[in-house]
């Protein structure tokens, strides 16, 4: 039975990988125009090569340790040894073990929340589908392009992860300089925290807490492909906002359940030798970043609507410096920044009412799993309103 399960999961995962590669290829074809593509020339993200490099290694490890996943103290020791902040690099030799532990724990949470699909002929195995699978690695960057006169993601293009800072600046300048006059644009290269290939890519330097939340987020994208919300992703910016926001909100809720069950990194390391606690810094005055960012976006949108483009850009630059002085670093704050982050309607960069409405749906659903099942059928604001009614 264990061999059957392992063979089934490996086979289905390969099919999903091929399907997702096709989906990303379609996204790249639909996304950037010639100017954005020219600006990013030579730095495109090669997902096919990434899959060829990582997929076999990952599944060889899975088949060698099929469904044992690590439990109890051994799992905690593995987590602690990898994530513990002791000033050294994370040990690469246990990376696959860490991924396996987290995948097993995430799978258990998903099962408890009723998020296990039942594929034909295998519905008695109780498997979460798609299987939870992620790879710790450098995540791709995205070149986001917005018109200067309004906040709207006009183009986006996946870039390789390792690009020197001076080349990032050059890509942004080229994208902006080749779109002048009535088509003048704001461009920004952004580091992603994760990417929903299969296996999904999760930022290798993320904290334990952030990593677990991202694993749930990216798995939800793979899961939602089999429902209306996922299949409508490319149809409109509204559907994409719904999809990303559902993955964000549900990912946070599922991660809370994960840590309620397994504890934080501190709990995982409680049996290990203690490291000296850092000297606490003096308490800083309260700074509500979310409120500040949303207020800024409203002001910027109002200024752009009145045609004050240069003044709006000066305001964003000044606020970027102000945020940095308060401990929040944003490399560049412009229209493209708000356009890209606006798809995540529950975050500080968005003022879209979809975010609060999805939060209400979560509260009414009563559980993270029920929320995902309800949201999976929603593809528009109208349908979200109907679900709330």
What are the tens digits of pLDDT across the range 328-348? Answer: 999 999 999 999 998 888 888
Q: 114-135: per-residue pLDDT in tens?
A: 987 765 555 566 678 888 889 9
What is the end-to-end Cα distance of the chain in Å, rounded?
A: 46
**Using an 8 Å Cβ cutoff, are 145 and 173 in contact?**
no
- H helix count then E strand count, the chain: 16, 6
| Residue found under tokens 């975010």 | 355
Q: What is the CA radius of gyration of the chain?
A: 22
As a whole number of angstroms, the distance between CA 146 and CA 172 comes to 12
CA 101 to chain centre: 20
Q: 206-230: per-residue pLDDT in tens?
A: 999 999 999 999 999 999 998 999 9
In this structure, of 70-74, 130-134, 294-298, the range with the lowest mean pLDDT score is 70-74
Give pLDDT, residue 29.
42
As a whole number of angstroms, the distance between CA 16 and CA 14 comes to 5
Rounded to two decimals, what is the model's pTM? 0.82
Return the higher-pLDDT residue of 128 and 367: 367
315 has a pLDDT exceeding 70: yes
As a whole number of angstroms, the distance between CA 27 and CA 45 comes to 12
As a whole number of angstroms, the distance between CA 295 and CA 229 comes to 30
């Amino acid at each position: 039975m264990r061999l059957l399960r392992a063979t089934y999961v490996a086979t289905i995962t390969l099919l999903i990988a091929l399907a997702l590669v096709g989906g990303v290829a379609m996204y790249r074809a639909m996304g950037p125009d010639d100017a954005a593509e020219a600006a990013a020339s030579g730095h495109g993200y090669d997902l096919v090569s990434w899959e060829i490099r990582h997929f076999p290694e990952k599944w060889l490890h899975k088949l060698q340790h099929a469904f044992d996943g690590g439990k109890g103290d051994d799992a905690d020791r593995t987590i602690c040894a990898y994530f513990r902040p002791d000033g050294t690099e994370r040990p690469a030799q246990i990376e696959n073990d860490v991924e396996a532990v987290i995948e097993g724990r995430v799978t258990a949470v998903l099962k408890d929340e009723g998020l296990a699909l039942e594929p034909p002929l295998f519905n008695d195995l109780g498997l979460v589908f798609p299987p939870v699978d992620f790879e710790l690695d450098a995540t791709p960057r995205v070149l986001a392009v917005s018109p200067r006169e309004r906040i709207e993601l006009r183009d986006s293009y996946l870039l390789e992860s390792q690009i020197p800072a001076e080349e990032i600046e050059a890509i942004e300048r080229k994208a902006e300089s080749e779109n002048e006059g009535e088509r003048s644009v704001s461009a920004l290269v952004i580091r992603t925290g994760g990417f929903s290939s299969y296996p999904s890519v999760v930022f290798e330097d993320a904290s334990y807490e952030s990593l677990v939340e991202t694993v749930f987020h990216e798995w939800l994208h793979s899961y939602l492909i089999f429902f209306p919300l996922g299949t409508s992703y490319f149809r409109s910016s509204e559907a994409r906002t719904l999809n990303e926001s559902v993955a964000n909100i549900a990912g946070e809720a599922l991660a809370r359940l994960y840590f309620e069950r397994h504890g934080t990194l501190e709990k995982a390391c409680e049996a290990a030798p203690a490291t000296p606690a850092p000297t606490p810094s003096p308490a800083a005055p309260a700074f509500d970043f979310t409120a500040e960012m949303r207020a800024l976006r409203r002001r910027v949108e109002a200024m752009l609507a009145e045609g004050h483009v240069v003044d709006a850009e000066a305001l964003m630059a000044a606020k970027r410096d102000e945020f940095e002085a308060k401990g929040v670093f944003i490399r560049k704050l412009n229209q493209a920044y708000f356009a890209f982050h606006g798809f995540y309607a529950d975050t500080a960069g968005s003022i879209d009412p979809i975010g609060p409405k999805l939060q209400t749906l979560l509260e009414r659903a009563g559980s993270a799993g029920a929320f995902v099942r309800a949201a999976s059928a929603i593809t528009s604001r109208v349908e979200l309103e109907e679900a709330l009614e």
